Amino acid sequence: KNPFKPVGESLLIFSKHNKYIITRQLVLGLLSVLDHLSGEPFQEYMNSMYFDRFLQWKWLERQPVTKNTFRQYRVLGKGGFGEVCACQVRATGKMYACKRLEKKRIKKRKGESMALNEKQILEKVNSQFVVNLAYAYETKDALCLVLTIMNGGDLKFHIYNMGNPGFEEERALFYAAEILCGLEDLHRENTVYRDLKPENILLDDYGHIRISDLGLAVKIPEGESIRGRVGTVGYMAPEVLNNQRYTLSPDYWGLGCLIYEMIAGQSPFRGRKEKVKREEVDRRVLETEEVYSHKFSEEAKSICKMPAEASSNQAHLLMG
C-alpha cells in the first residue's frame, strides 16, 4: 500500500497511526536547510570531539553482546528457571535487570518454547507499562534477558506489607489504569498476557508500574482464538478453567481480580493465608459470587465487575 498520496500541491503521508500533510514550501525549506548543514557545519562537526564520540558509539553497537558487556550485582529475585540480578552496562553505566534462564532447568521442565516465546514477544512490544527488552545473550549455562530495572518492589509487597492490607480506592485505580495501558499495548500486538497477578506487577522509583514476566503470554493468530489451561490459581478466568476457546478475555478477568485484591487486601476467591486446595479455588471461581466489603464504593464495585463482564461476554461470543 502506497503511503504517499498527492493532494493539490501538497503530499499526504500515511503512517501506522497518523497522517501528515507535507506542503511544497516545507519541502523546499527542508532541502535548503539540508544543503546548508551539509557544507561548513558538517565539516566542523567531523573535526569535533562529538564526531569522535559518535564513532565510538557506532563501534560499540557493532560489538557482540556477552556477559562481559555487563557488571553483575545483587540478586533481585528468583523464578522458576533461574534468578534476576541487577546489572550495569560497562560502556554507559546504565542499570538493568538481568533475567537468567538456566538451560538445565529449561530442559528439565521442557520450557524451551516458553523461553523463546517470551523473548520474541518482548522484542515486539514497546510500552512504558511493560518491561522492555534492552539486550539478549547466552552463556554456556544460561539464556539472559536484560530488561528494564524496577527498584520499587512488586505489587504484592505493597498490598500486604505496607501497613493494613490493601490500598485506598484512588491508589488502586491509578495502578489499574496503568496496568490497563500495558495490556492494551500487548493486545495491540494480538498478544494475551494470561498471568495477571500482584507478583507480576513491578514498581519503579517513581511509583509507576510495568507488567513483567511474559512467560505465559502468547500471540494469537489474526482472526483466530486459542485454548490453554495456563495461569495462576485464583486468577484464571472461567473460560480458561473450562478449557474453552478465548482471545483476550482472560486478561480482563485477571484485571478485575487484581483491582478487587488491591482494594480488599485479599484475593476475591481465597482469604488471606487461607489454605485451600486448587480444586476448591477453581470451584469458587466457577460457582460463587465475590463478596464486597465496606471498603468498596459503588463505583469501585462497578469497576471490578466490568473486566469480568467483558471476559464473560467475549467467551460467550466465541462459544456462539
3-state SS, residue 155: helix
Length of the chain: 320
Determine whether the annotation assigns residue 108 to a binding site.
Answer: yes
DSSP type of residue 227: -
Residue 154 has φ and ψ, to the nearest 5°, of -100, 170
DSSP class per residue in 107-173? HHTT-HHHHHHHHHHHHH---TTBPPEEEEEE-SSEEEEEE----S-BHHHHHHSSSSSS--HHHHH
> What span, in angstroms and rounded, lies between the C-alpha atoms of 168 and 162?
12
Written as nine digits, the cell of 129 is 507499562
- CA distances 230 to 68, 121, 134, Å, are 36, 17, 27
> Is 154 an active-site residue?
no
List the catalytic residue out of 52, 141, 154, 195.
195
Number of H helices, E strands in the chain: 11, 12
Alpha-carbon gap, residue 66 to 64, rounded angstroms: 6
From the annotation, which residues make up the binding site for ATP? 108
From the annotation, which residues make up the binding site? 108
By annotation, the residues acting in catalysis are: 195
